[in-house]
Amino acid sequence: MAGLLEALDGDPAVDREVGDGALVRALLDVEAALARALARAGLVSDDAAAAVAEAASTLDVDAEELGRRAVAAGNPVVPLVRDLAAAVPEHAQDAVHRGATSQDILDTALQLLARRALEPVLQYLRAAGDAAARLARDHRRTVMVARTLGQPAQPTTFGLRAANWLAGLDAANAELTRIRDEVLAVQLGGAAGTLAGYDAGPADGRGSEPLAAGVQVMAHLADELGLADPGVPWHTERSRVQTLGSALGVAVAACGKVATDVILQSQGEIAEVAEGAPGGSSAMPHKRNPVASVLVVAAARRSPGLVGTLLASGLHEQDRATGSWHAEWAPLRELLRLSGGAAAHTASVLDGLDVDPVVMRRNLDAAAPGVFSESLAAPLIPVLGRAAAQDAVRAALDEAPGGGLELVAVLRHDPAVADAVDEGELAARLDPVHALGAADAVIDRHLRAHDRQRVVAP
């Protein structure tokens, strides 16, 4: 998971948690936890469960070789269970994989793998959010030109732009935290989701009720692994996988929004920001490329297709799927990788971002006086009506493109405007500080929400 190209879009801390070795470890951890859960439910002895757990913790597995052996069964659990059973003493054989099917183990292992991988992902998202919050606080008075549809629009502040980044990062963080704590769950249903493997049979003349025993084992398994207890099997109900995949896609997109803005604002013709650790060019030594942001954008372009694959794979036929289940594995792991890389890169970019308020003001001044058109039209509307006021401002801008008092004078050529609107009021509206609306209050709301989230975050 960290090859020549993979290292570019991942992160070592996350890659370690989703690689082949990590998946094998998760599979064995689930088998060990299942044995302990069986013992807690009174279905096997404590000694047998301990023997399975010991074998699982010491089993030496070559992931590549296991993958080759998995082809015959269509999944790696079948050969892995065979190896585990061979390593367990005879008295503990009944505690190996009892009542479970391959999908139970692999589904649970992937949920466990996701929980482990989400820890560094969430750390990076929190770090990115904290860095965005600092930028919002530090630059709440740093005026710049807002750009809508790619064109200069109105005055805004860089602090507000950073606060909007913060909102997206915090939303992604909150949803992935909820999924980690509430959605990621164990899977246990047996061959057809009936929990029939926990029917002790009629040896005592009565037998045992498999639902009660299976649900008990499921609860113990969840407790052993730190995952949610779903209460019922979910072999063909795949909303947990889809919810996780969708949230990962949203997180990458939130990072991609930040990266897109950094790339645009760091263009040579704009030069308002720059990555603190920029990359170079193999051909042009003068370039200061926003390499980390470019990699985040690349991840954001790939993620929607992976989310789409997970959604399309939700069509699990009847009681166990024919291929849809298998189609989930690779995109889910890749989404975890991409979210880790995107969040890590975004945290690094925001923490080291070079912001140039002087250039921001220069670009704003270059876009003036047109960026003040709405502000100038506002006091004219009660006098002329909305459409006429906007026409008057548009005509005045054509006649006095340099702005300043000349523009004010042109607007006041209309006697009705001159009588109703003071020259000083119109002149003040050419100051960007008076054209920021509720930007400061919006920033404060985002910052307060961020602070509340940081207080409750585990």
Handedness of CA 382, 385, 386, 389 (dihedral sign): negative
From CA 284, how far away is CA 288, in angstroms rounded? Answer: 9
Do residue 38 and residue 145 come from a single domain? yes
Residue 1 belongs to a domain: no
Do residue 232 and residue 377 come from a single domain? no
Query: What are the phi and psi torsion angles at 148 (to 5°)?
Result: -120, 135
Residue 159 belongs to a domain: yes
Residue 439 belongs to a domain: no
pLDDT at 170 over 80: yes
Do residue 278 and residue 416 come from a single domain? no
Say if pTM beats, i.e. exceeds, 0.95.
no
Do residue 276 and residue 414 come from a single domain? no
75, HSE (Cβ side, Cα atoms, 13 Å): 23
Handedness of CA 428, 432, 433, 438 (dihedral sign): positive
From CA 449, how far away is CA 444, in angstroms rounded? Answer: 9
Peptide bond before residue 120 is cis, with ω within 30 degrees of 0 = no
Residue 457 belongs to a domain: no
Do residue 111 and residue 250 come from a single domain? yes
Quick: pLDDT tens for 223-240.
Answer: 999 999 999 999 999 999
Do residue 141 and residue 63 come from a single domain? yes
Do residue 145 and residue 93 come from a single domain? yes
Exactly one of 69, 288, 302, 320 is catalytic; which is it?
320
Please provide the average confidence, as pLDDT, over all residues in the chain.
92
Q: What CATH number is associated with residue 287?
A: 1.20.200.10
Quick: pLDDT tens for 93-110.
Answer: 999 999 999 999 999 999
3-state secondary structure at position 37: helix
Do residue 404 and residue 302 come from a single domain? no
Q: Give, rounded to a whole angstrom, the gap between the first and last alpha carbons of the chain.
A: 28
Do residue 345 and residue 395 come from a single domain? no
Active-site annotation holds for 373:
no
pLDDT at 56 over 50: yes
pLDDT recorded at residue 281: 44
pLDDT at 241 over 60: yes
Exactly one of 68, 141, 281, 301 is catalytic; which is it?
281
Do residue 300 and residue 273 come from a single domain? yes
Active-site annotation holds for 206:
no
Peptide bond before residue 357 is cis, with ω within 30 degrees of 0 = no
pLDDT category, 35, cuts 50, 70, 90?
A: very high
pLDDT at 60 over 50: yes
From CA 142, how far away is CA 85, in angstroms rounded? Answer: 66
Residue 100 belongs to a domain: yes
Residue 337 belongs to a domain: yes
Residue 113 belongs to a domain: yes
> Hey, what are 378's tokens?
């506002």
Radius of gyration, alpha carbons of the chain: 30
Do residue 211 and residue 265 come from a single domain? yes
Contact 373, 394 (CB under 8 A): yes
Which distant-in-sequence residues (6+ apart) come within 8 Å of 140 by Cβ? 157, 159, 160, 439, 440, 443
For every residue of 260-285, DSSP letters joined together read: HHHHHHTSTTT-SEE-SS-B--SS-T
pLDDT recorded at residue 206: 54
Residue 137 belongs to a domain: yes
Q: Which domain holds residue 405?
A: 369-429
How far is the CA of 322 from the CAs of 103, 190, 328, 382, in angstroms? 12, 16, 12, 68
Residue ending a domain, among 357, 388, 412, is 357
From CA 128, how far away is CA 7, in angstroms rounded? Answer: 20
Do residue 184 and residue 121 come from a single domain? yes
Domains: count for the chain = 2
Looking at the chain, how many residues does it have?
Answer: 458
pLDDT recorded at residue 55: 97
Quick: pLDDT tens for 318-377.
Answer: 888 889 999 999 999 999 999 999 999 999 999 999 999 999 999 999 999 999 999 999
* H/E element, 266: none
231 or 8, which is more confident? 231
From CA 64, how far away is CA 380, in angstroms rounded? Answer: 74
Residue ending a domain, among 357, 391, 410, is 357
pLDDT recorded at residue 154: 94
